[in-house]
Amino acid sequence: MSQKISLTRYLVEQQRHDGHIPSQLRLLLEVVARACKGISQAVSKGALGGVLGTADSENVQGEVQKKLDIIANEVLIEANEWGGHLAAMASEEMDSIYLVPNRYPQGEYLLLFDPLDGSSNIDVNVSIGTIFSVLRKPEGHPGVTEEDFLQAGSRQVAAGYCIYGPQTTLVLTVGDGVAMFTLDREQGSFVLVQENVTIPADTKEFAINMSNMRHWDAPVRRYIDECLQGKEGPRGKDFNMRWIASMVADVHRILTRGGVFMYPWDKREPEKAGKLRLMYEANPMSWLVEQAGGAATNGRERILDIAPEKLHQRVSVILGSKNEVERVTRYHLGTD
């Protein structure tokens, strides 16, 4: 790429030429990117910034919060509440929706986020990230309610994540393919490094937490078992395994070189549909993956078609290289 294209320029061109994004959405995405820069800064300080370790609190899902879960959540709220582009926000780390205070103008968008994904990796200096999803507030009534957020993933108008790894990279879709922007720390801006990201349809790499194997359902066991049999098994090829335990990092690898990621329902807590959250993790990641030519299902149906019933709803997730996701889905549906 001869001339550097900043995120700002990319968004302006998306607005000007392609009509993909109205100016309010452009502003929203700029603000999210700025917040991610702030979080990246805090993450990179580690122990020097006093940001490691656990806070004395639990979130609505009963998970112990890390200091950075709370810091990242605050950074995102403070950056986004005053710009006039949002009506309300929802976060994995907040019990209920956050309305833009009355003293600020109300916009037409809803922002949802997992402020810090991969919390168990913070203290061990492994890649973590922020995941976000943008919906339009439904028309026809003043104010915002939790129901306004309960829209299927197919209604998202923007989605992405920022990974804080060896590089800080923001990955975005506004429904026109997937683009990646790496933070240039000297310039202080995100610079386009890849457009039209494409996931190969076939792969020899899977990502799943194997320690849960004894709790899996038969279709997942069958799929992984066949992968493990390698060249000698029904798949006729050897597979490799990766599990980073930060969804952002596992999805980033899949967008970069293909693969299949699974966090399926399992018998540990059978009443829960899965571990990952539909609104903050599965929907934005599924849209990115589909926009890159991959697929995402809960084993039975397309994740983006699921009608949410609750803000903090959980879901079983299988996403990545299309032919593998379709295979796992066939195993679940018994259509193989």
Does position 163 interact with ligand AHG (CB under 6 A)? The reply is no
Instruction: State which residue, 14 or 119, has the beta carbon closest to ligand AHG.
Output: 119
120 binds ligand AHG (CB under 6 A): yes
Q: Considering only residues 80-99, where is the footprint of ligand AHG by CB under 6 A?
A: 92
Question: What CA–CA distance (Å, rounded) separates 286 from 303?
Answer: 7
- Are the CB atoms for 315 and 303 separated by under 8 Å? yes
Sign of CA dihedral 116, 265, 331, 223: positive
Q: Which is nearer to Mn ion, 30 or 117 (CB)?
A: 117
- Distance of closest approach, residue 40 Cβ to Mn ion, in angstroms: 16
**Is 193 or 213 the residue whose CB approaches ligand AHG more closely?**
213
Cβ 159 to Mn ion shortest distance, Å: 14
- Cβ contact 52:237 at 8 Å: no
Which stretch, 47-55, 155-163, 170-178, 242-250, contacts ligand AHG (CB under 6 A)? Answer: 242-250
Confirm or reject binding of residue 247 to ligand AHG (CB under 6 A).
Answer: yes
Find the binder of ligand AHG among 14, 73, 91, 119 (CB under 6 A): 119
59 contributes a contact to ligand AHG by CB under 6 A: no
Candidates 30, 81, 117, 148; binder of Mn ion (CB under 5 A) is 117
Residue 272 sits at φ, ψ, to 5 deg, of -90, 140
Measure the CA–CA gap between 290 and 328, rounded to whole angstroms.
16
Least gap, CB of 191 to Mn ion (angstroms): 26
Amino acid at position 279, single letter: M
Q: Which of 11, 36 has the CB closer to Mn ion?
A: 36
Cβ proximity of 250 and 256 under 8 Å: no
CB 273, CB 298: distance < 8 Å = yes
14 touches ligand AHG by CB under 6 A:
no
Maximum alpha-carbon separation in the chain:
66
φ/ψ of 206, rounded to 5, equals -125, 155
Closest contact distance (angstroms) between CB of 172 and ligand AHG is 19
Q: Is the dihedral of CA 257, 273, 150, 39 positive or negative?
A: negative
Count CA atoms within 13 Å of residue 97 on its CB side. 22
How do beta strands 189-194 and 168-173 pair? unpaired
Task: Assess 246 for contact with ligand AHG (CB under 6 A).
Answer: yes
CB of residue 130 vs ligand AHG: minimum separation in angstroms? 10
Binder to Mn ion among 114, 205, 250, 266 (CB under 5 A)?
A: 114
Instruction: Report the residue number, 92 or 148, with the smaller CB distance to Mn ion.
Output: 92
Strands 260-263 and 205-207: parallel
Among Mn ion, ligand AHG, none, the one that 290 touches (CB under a kind-dependent 5 to 8 A) is: none
> Count residues contacting ligand AHG (CB under 6 A)?
12
Compute how many other C-beta atoms are within 10 angstroms of the C-beta atom of residue 129: 31
- 114 part of the interface to ligand AHG, by CB under 6 A: yes
Q: Is 209 in the site for ligand AHG (CB under 6 A)?
A: yes
Q: Which stretch binds ligand AHG (CB under 6 A): 37-45, 110-118, 157-165, 225-233?
A: 110-118
Spatial contact of 314 and 276, defined as CB atoms under 8 Å apart: yes
Chain center to CA of 304: 13
Residue 154 gets the label, from left (phi > 0), alpha (psi -120 to 50) or beta, of alpha
Query: Residue 174 or residue 285: which is nearer to Mn ion going by CB?
Result: 285
- Residues within window 223-262 making contact with Mn ion, judged by CB under 5 A: none
- Minimum distance from residue 314 beta carbon to ligand AHG (Å): 11
First to last CA, the chain: 44
- Contacts with ligand AHG by CB under 6 A lie at 92, 114, 117-120, 209, 245-247, 263, 275
